[in-house]
Amino acid sequence: MSIRILLADDHTIMQAGLRALLEKESDMEVVAEAKNGWEAVRMATQLRPDVVIIDISMPDLNGMDATHEIIVEVPGIRVLGLSMHSDEQFVSGMLRAGAAGYLLKDCAAEELVYAIRAVYNNQTYLSPPIASIVTGQYVRDLCERGDSEAVSLTHREREVIQMLAEGKTSKEVALGLNLSVRTVEAHRRQIMNKLGVNSIAQLTKFAIRHGLTSVDY
C-alpha cells in the first residue's frame, strides 16, 4: 500500500521538484498539492492523506497554524514540516502545533524519503540541525513553554494577525475568514489590547518575530 502524501508549498518549482522526487518511490503517491495554508487544510480534510509535507512560511495561513487545523480536522494524520527556517520559534511552533517531524529544505533527497517513512510509521523525525535545537530541558518543556504574548492569543486571533501583517484590509480578512468586517475590527482591537500595540506596523513586527509570517513568504 502506498503512502498517500499531500504537498503544501506556495513555490511552484519546489512543488514540482518534490513531486518528481517522491514519485520515484514505489511506496509513495502524491495525491494533491496545496498553494497556501487554507488550501492545505481543505485538501487534507477532503482527501485524508497519510502524510502532509508542509512549508512553514505561506500566505494567508502559515504552516504552523495550518498544521494545528489539519490535526484537529483529521486526527491521526502525520504532518512533516519542510522549511528553510531553523529558528527556534519556527521549530517549537511546528512541534507545539502537532507536527511529527521537521526538515530543512536543503536536506538530501534520501533524508526526506526516510523522514516520510518514519513519520508514517508513527515515529518522530527531526533533521540533525533541528534535533540540536530541541534537546535537554527544552524538549521536556516544549509543549508548555512559549512566549506569554503568543500563548494568550487564540488561533482565530493568530489568523487575523497574519493576514493584517501581510497587508490585507479588514474587508479582505473578513472575506478570507468568512467573518463580518465588524468582527474583524473587534478582533484587531482585542489583539492590540492584549499585545499593547497601537499600529499595524507593530502587529507586523510581532507576527514576524513569532513566526506567524515572514518577510519572504
Q: What is the DSSP string of 18-82?
A: HHHHHTTSTTEEEEEEESSHHHHHHHHHHH--SEEEE-S--SSS-HHHHHHHHHHHSTT-EEEEE
Question: C-alpha dihedral over 60, 154, 84, 81, to 10 degrees?
Answer: -100
Residue 32 has pLDDT above 50, yes or no: yes
- Both 189 and 91 in one domain: the answer is no
Which pLDDT belongs to residue 92?
A: 82
Residue 150 has pLDDT above 70, yes or no: no
Beta bridge partners of 33: 7
pLDDT top residue among 48 and 109:
48
The cell numbers describing 212, all together, are 506567524
- Both 134 and 153 in one domain: the answer is no
The cell numbers describing 2, all together, are 502506498
Selection from 45, 39, 133, 44 nearest residue 93 by Cα: 133
- Both 123 and 83 in one domain: the answer is yes
pLDDT in tens, 36-47: 999 999 999 999
Selection from 198, 163, 165 nearest residue 178 by Cα: 163
For residue 33, report the phi and psi dihedrals to the nearest 5 degrees: -130, 130
CA 174 to chain centroid? 21
- Both 111 and 26 in one domain: the answer is yes
- Both 162 and 121 in one domain: the answer is no
Residue 149 has pLDDT above 90, yes or no: no
For the chain, the domain total comes to 2
- Both 10 and 60 in one domain: the answer is yes
Residue 137 lies in a domain: yes
Q: Which of 24-28, 134-138, 209-213 has the lowest mean pLDDT?
A: 134-138
* pTM of the predicted model as reported, rounded to 2 decimal places: 0.69
Choosing from 84, 119, 141, the residue where a domain stops is 141
The whole-chain average pLDDT of the chain stands at 85
Calculate the alpha carbon distances from 147 to 15, 85, 88, 136, 181 in Å: 33, 19, 12, 19, 29
Average pLDDT on 93-116 reads 91
Q: What is the CATH number of the domain that holds 19?
A: 3.40.50.2300
Angle 160-217-189 from CA coordinates, rounded to 5°: 20
d(CA 10, CA 188): 27
Its domain, for residue 173, covers: 148-209
